[in-house]
């Protein structure tokens, strides 16, 4: 019997380790940019070809490396930032584990050119499959240039898992944005396929935010600054009116390192409570600075998830700092007293409240019950004859009682079991629900969920047959996008065309909306595209939908009749008929019920009959 256990060859071990660190071109972008920052560079260039699949190059004017260091940097766990175990708990640099360059060299062809200011010549090294192919002295400017070519050339299976160029470019822009946001004092440029996408001059954090996220934030940022002996927090949050319906421009940095933290996000959201709608998300770029011993940055390969020594203190501090900043700028919640058009037409509102009417109201038992001391709980007993008034009031209303609580056993049922009849009248409740009779009781329909289902199936069917009919705009709208959104637009433009939107490039990060779907009203197409981009960017990554499916779901959600929209009976009837003509009428595209049925026997049980 021979022994079975052997050590893996170095190149295979490096490839396995690389899978943890380098998952796509954007992973290499992050690591290389962070190394350039650690080198003290004041100017950093990122050069991309073929969405990083053929080239990712970072050129900096940092400290450079000696000949020996240039050779050593490609070894696993080779680092200049940790000497003792104690150093691991005092990390202030971006990179520190010595895995990035070794991982890149294991899955790509790498060319390194570097020179220190004190050296007369620089060093040029070629590495392939973790093996040094060439090392020679070379003339070079101070700093380092490292080029990663043909990613995953030796791991074809990994290369096949990469997404489209537009999708990979979007990830690259995300990583570039995070590093550039974190170091506004450094000049950054990004060039893709010989076209410059970003030129970010060194400046203040506010200038960098506007450069990266768009000029719309220029006058809509609130400064946050709180300092204590334990920790400091600085940065900016958006005024409440900048809140979006999807998680958009939200950035947390701890000791200048971008992190993802649902816990801290909840702290910030709670600071905005009652200032923005519950389903909206504020913009923020916040930097938390604290003793490195209070945080563990080495809990995840990408270093985007960290652990705090005392999370509760951080949570309370973030919440208090943002609340204080918003209060200082006198940004307080306002109450919206917009009335429904149908309510404003009521005689009780339009006719004057005369002295006779005031006297009559004041003499009533209900008025006395709420104005006399300690009488708000008292309901005056009256003769049975008074019940007639309540019956008349009820019969003049919607035509039937509404149910305040629903048994958990009530589930959405298939249309054929509901027995919906097209001649039955419909009524609206709370500007959100439609009530209509069924064969054995009544059904309660959520108008937005129902309309989403109708639109979704319509768009899905149309996109399968042929492109949706387009109406050309007489006055095309111009759309100026932030660079990150422009990358998304490039990714989805073809699919948008299939869904009826004709959008054409018009210079750097600018597009012209030449046409919209024929059955969609014109005039707000810029707003539609803005929201569509936000929803597409922040679609649940765990659900694997195609680009077109994501767009269809986003469009259906956006164009659906929202809660609070009053409908005529004709509109309600039309919506209900369209719903029950759908292939799957009982659930919305996101899986929520479109209606609930209340059967007669269930109603009787509710009332104890």
At residue 448, does pLDDT exceed 70? Answer: yes
At residue 405, does pLDDT exceed 80? Answer: no
Q: What is the pLDDT of residues 19-78, one digit of tens each?
A: 556 888 999 999 999 999 989 999 999 999 999 999 999 999 999 999 988 888 887 655
Q: What is the pLDDT of residues 523-536, one digit of tens each?
A: 677 777 877 787 77
**Residue 333 is assigned to a structural domain of this protein:** no
pTM above 0.85, yes or no: no
pLDDT of the residue at 1: 61
Beta strands 122-128; 470-480: pairing state: unpaired
**Residue 528 is assigned to a structural domain of this protein:** yes
Whether residues 242 and 182 share a domain: the answer is no
Rounded to 5 degrees, φ, ψ at 595 are: -155, 160
Whether residues 151 and 213 share a domain: the answer is no
**Residue 305 is assigned to a structural domain of this protein:** yes
CATH number reported for the structural domain that contains residue 477 in this entry? 3.30.1370.100
Picking from 465, 443, 457, the residue whose alpha carbon sits closest to that of residue 552 is 457
Where does the pLDDT of residue 284 fall: very low under 50, low under 70, confident under 90, or very high at 90 and above? very high
Locate 288 and state its tokens.
């938390």
pLDDT of the residue at 477: 81
Q: How many domains does the chain have?
A: 3
At residue 125, does pLDDT exceed 90? Answer: yes
Where does the pLDDT of residue 539 fall: very low under 50, low under 70, confident under 90, or very high at 90 and above? low
Whether residues 176 and 262 share a domain: the answer is no
A 10 A CB-CB count for 444 gives 18
CATH number reported for the structural domain that contains residue 151 in this entry? 3.30.565.10
A 10 A CB-CB count for 136 gives 10
Domain boundary among 200, 228, 245: 200
**Residue 307 is assigned to a structural domain of this protein:** yes
Whether residues 140 and 243 share a domain: the answer is no
Arithmetic mean of pLDDT over the chain:
77
**Residue 31 is assigned to a structural domain of this protein:** yes
**Residue 321 is assigned to a structural domain of this protein:** yes
Whether residues 183 and 232 share a domain: the answer is no
Whether residues 66 and 81 share a domain: the answer is yes
At residue 101, does pLDDT exceed 70? Answer: yes
Picking from 309, 328, 326, 329, the residue whose alpha carbon sits closest to that of residue 231 is 309
For the purposes of burial, counting CB atoms within 10 Å of the CB of 331, is it exposed (0-12), middle (13-18) or buried (19 or more)? middle
Please give the helix or strand (H or E) that residue 264 lies within, else none. helix 262-271
- Only one residue has tokens 């175990």, namely 85
Whether residues 151 and 298 share a domain: the answer is no
Whether residues 188 and 256 share a domain: the answer is no
The maximal CA–CA distance of the chain, rounded, in angstroms, is 109
Domain boundary among 179, 200, 221: 200
At residue 355, does pLDDT exceed 80? Answer: no
pLDDT of the residue at 495: 79
At residue 362, does pLDDT exceed 70? Answer: no
At residue 81, does pLDDT exceed 50? Answer: no
Rounded CA-CA distance 302/297 in Å is 10
Where does the pLDDT of residue 158 fall: very low under 50, low under 70, confident under 90, or very high at 90 and above? confident
Whether residues 320 and 446 share a domain: the answer is no
Whether residues 311 and 296 share a domain: the answer is yes
Domain boundary among 138, 172, 200: 200
Q: What is the pLDDT of residues 408-438, one digit of tens each?
A: 344 444 444 555 555 668 888 888 888 888 8
Whether residues 76 and 174 share a domain: the answer is yes
Locate 487 and state its tokens.
């990358």
Where does the pLDDT of residue 442 fall: very low under 50, low under 70, confident under 90, or very high at 90 and above? confident
Beta strands 43-49; 187-192: pairing state: parallel
Average of per-residue pLDDT across 347-362: 59
Q: What is the pLDDT of residues 543-568, one digit of tens each?
A: 567 777 777 887 788 778 888 888 88
pLDDT of the residue at 421: 53
Residue 237 in 3-state DSSP? strand
Rounded CA-CA distance 441/215 in Å is 55
Locate 511 and state its tokens.
């597009």
Locate 159 and state its tokens.
């290369």
Range of the domain at 478: 412-609
Average of per-residue pLDDT across 494-511: 81
For the purposes of burial, counting CB atoms within 10 Å of the CB of 409, is it exposed (0-12), middle (13-18) or buried (19 or more)? exposed
- Beta strand extents in 116-204 (DSSP E only): 122-128, 131-138, 143-149, 187-192, 195-200
At residue 104, does pLDDT exceed 90? Answer: no
Please give the helix or strand (H or E) that residue 60 lies within, else none. strand 55-60
**Residue 469 is assigned to a structural domain of this protein:** yes
Rounded CA-CA distance 14/99 in Å is 9
pLDDT of the residue at 347: 52
Q: Among residues of the chain, what percentage have pLDDT more than 70?
A: 71
CATH number reported for the structural domain that contains residue 262 in this entry? 3.30.230.10
**Residue 404 is assigned to a structural domain of this protein:** no
164's CB contacts (< 8 A; 6+ apart) are: 51, 491
At residue 354, does pLDDT exceed 50? Answer: yes
Whether residues 27 and 72 share a domain: the answer is yes
């Amino acid at each position: 019997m021979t022994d079975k256990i052997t050590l893996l060859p170095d190149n295979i071990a490096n490839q396995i380790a690389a899978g943890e660190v380098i998952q796509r071109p954007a992973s290499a972008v992050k690591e290389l940019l962070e190394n350039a920052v650690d080198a003290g560079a004041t100017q950093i260039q990122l050069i991309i070809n073929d969405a990083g699949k053929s080239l990712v190059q970072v050129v900096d004017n940092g400290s450079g490396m000696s000949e020996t260091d240039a050779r050593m940097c490609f070894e696993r766990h080779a680092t200049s930032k940790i000497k003792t175990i104690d150093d691991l708990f005092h990390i202030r640099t971006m990179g520190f584990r010595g895995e990035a360059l070794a991982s890149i060299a294991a899955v790509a062809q790498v060319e390194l050119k570097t020179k220190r200011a004190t050296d007369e010549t620089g060093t040029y090294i070629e590495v392939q499959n973790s093996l040094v192919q060439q090392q020679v002295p070379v003339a070079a400017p101070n700093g380092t240039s490292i080029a990663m070519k043909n990613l995953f050339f030796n791991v074809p299976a990994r290369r096949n898992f990469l997404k489209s160029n537009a999708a990979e470019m979007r990830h690259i822009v995300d990583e570039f944005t995070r590093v550039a946001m974190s170091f506004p004092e450094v000049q950054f440029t990004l060039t893709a396929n010989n076209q410059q996408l970003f030129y970010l001059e060194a400046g203040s954090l506010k200038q960098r935010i506007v450069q990266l996220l768009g000029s719309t934030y220029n006058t809509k940022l609130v400064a946050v600054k709180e300092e204590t002996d334990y920790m400091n927090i600085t940065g900016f949050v958006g005024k409440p009116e900048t809140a979006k319906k999807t998680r958009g421009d939200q950035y947390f940095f701890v000791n200048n390192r971008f992190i993802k933290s649902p816990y801290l996000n909840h702290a910030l959201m709670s600071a905005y409570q009652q200032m923005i709608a519950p389903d909206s998300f504020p913009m923020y770029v916040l930097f938390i600075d604290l003793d490195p011993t209070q945080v563990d940055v080495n809990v995840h390969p990408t270093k985007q998830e960290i652990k705090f020594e005392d999370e509760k203190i951080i949570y309370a501090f973030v919440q208090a700092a943002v609340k204080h900043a918003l209060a200082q700028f006198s940004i307080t919640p306002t109450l919206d007293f917009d009335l429904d058009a149908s309510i404003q037409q009521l005689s009780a509102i339009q006719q004057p409240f005369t002295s006779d009417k005031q006297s009559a109201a004041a003499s009533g038992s209900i008025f006395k019950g709420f104005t006399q001391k300690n009488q708000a709980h008292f309901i005056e007993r009256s003769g049975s004859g008074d019940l007639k008034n309540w019956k008349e009031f009820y019969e003049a209303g919607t035509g039937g009682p509404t149910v305040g609580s629903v048994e958990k056993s009530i589930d959405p049922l298939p249309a054929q079991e509901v027995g919906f009849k097209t001649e039955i009248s419909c009524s609206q409740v709370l500007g959100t629900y439609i009530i209509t009779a069924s064969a054995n009781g009544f059904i309660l329909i959520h108008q937005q969920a129902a309309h989403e289902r109708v639109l979704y199936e319509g768009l899905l069917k149309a996109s399968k047959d042929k492109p949706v009919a387009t109406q050309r705009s007489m006055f095309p709208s111009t759309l100026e996008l932030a660079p990150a959104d422009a990358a998304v637009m490039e990714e989805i433009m073809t699919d948008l065309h299939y869904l009826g939107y004709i959008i054409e490039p018009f210079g750097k990060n600018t597009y012209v909306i030449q046409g919209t779907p024929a059955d969609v009203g014109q005039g707000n197409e810029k707003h539609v595209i803005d929201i569509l981009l936000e929803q597409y960017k922040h679609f649940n990554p765990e659900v694997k939908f195609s680009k077109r499916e994501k767009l269809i779901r986003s469009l259906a959600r956006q164009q659906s009749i929202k809660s609070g929209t009053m409908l005529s009976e004709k509109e309600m009837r039309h919506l209900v008929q369209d719903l029950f003509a759908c292939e799957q009428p009982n659930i919305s595209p996101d899986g929520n019920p479109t209606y609930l049925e209340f059967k007669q026997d269930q109603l009787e049980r509710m009332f104890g009959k």
